[in-house]
């Protein structure tokens, strides 16, 4: 049975967070990406009012370095521009690049591995946005996109694949720990839409792979 990729998130909470402190927390989170496999600059920002059902009140695309669309923006500058509209019922989304090992078939019995840049969304929630969504989503939420690079469910987990998957997982764990420490979060949660933890799915994946090898 084919297993569908699941979206992976990291939620961060801060005790008694005041809205005026949100820019500093965001800067601390965004600033850790460059040291953990990501790019140093922001691709784009979007400001959402009231709920996800509303049209954005602000959007700006800074571009991505290396593909002819600009060089991106320094996190501090992007945060200052987006949070000029600082309201307790707004959400602030920042897009950045983050590279992981991913594979593709390069022949009947061969897979080619490469570091692929993926889009990551970092969203900060005002306390009244979407009826207090931060209580479940976190004051700041990182959307890593599909969890496929951490499981590689379409590939045989040979020694080479296990090494690359392990490197991706280590990068994820290191980034999660770094943003928690840098931003002063008192709680963090790595979670997925399906409800299963990445650790559970990985354990099941390894167990299934080893069972096929016997």
Average pLDDT, the chain: 87
Q: What is the pLDDT of residue 208?
A: 57
* Segment 139-165 mean pLDDT: 85
Find the radius of gyration of the CA atoms of the chain. 18
At 206 the pLDDT is 60
Torsion region of 12: left, alpha or beta (phi above 0 gives left; psi -120 to 50 gives alpha): beta
Q: Mean per-residue pLDDT for 142-168?
A: 85
Q: What is the pLDDT of residues 183-211, one digit of tens each?
A: 999 999 998 877 766 777 766 666 655 55
Q: How far apart are CA 211 and CA 28, in angstroms?
A: 43
pLDDT category at 2 given cuts 50, 70, 90 is: very low
- Beta bridge partners, 47, equal 58, 92
Ranges 64-68, 116-120, 206-210, most confident: 116-120
151 band by pLDDT with thresholds 50, 70 and 90:
confident
Query: What residues contact residue 99 under an 8 Å CB cut-off, 6+ apart?
Result: 37, 38, 115, 116, 117, 118
> Cβ distance 89 to 126 under 8 Å?
yes
Flag whether the pTM goes above 0.85: yes
């Amino acid at each position: 049975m084919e297993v569908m990729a699941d979206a992976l998130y990291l939620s961060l909470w801060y005790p008694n967070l005041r809205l005026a402190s949100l820019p500093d927390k965001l800067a601390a989170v965004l600033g850790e990406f460059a040291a953990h496999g990501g790019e140093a600059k922001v691709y784009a920002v979007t400001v959402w009012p009231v709920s996800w059902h509303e049209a954005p009140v602000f959007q700006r695309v800074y571009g991505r370095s290396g593909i002819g669309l600009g060089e991106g923006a320094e996190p501090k500058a992007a945060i200052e521009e987006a949070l000029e509209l600082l309201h307790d019922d707004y959400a602030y989304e920042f897009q950045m690049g983050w590279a992981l090992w991913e594979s593709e078939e390069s022949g009947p019995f061969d897979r080619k591995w490469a570091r692929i840049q993926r889009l990551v969304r970092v969203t900060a929630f005002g306390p009244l946005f979407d009826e207090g969504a931060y209580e479940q989503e976190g004051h700041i939420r990182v959307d890593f996109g599909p969890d496929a690079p951490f499981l590689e469910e379409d590939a045989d987990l040979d020694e080479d694949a296990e090494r690359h998957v392990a490197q991706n997982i280590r990068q994820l764990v290191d980034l999660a720990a770094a943003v928690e420490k840098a931003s002063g979060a008192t709680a963090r949660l790595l979670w997925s839409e399906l409800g299963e933890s990445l650790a559970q799915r990985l354990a099941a994946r390894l167990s299934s792979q080893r069972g096929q090898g016997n």
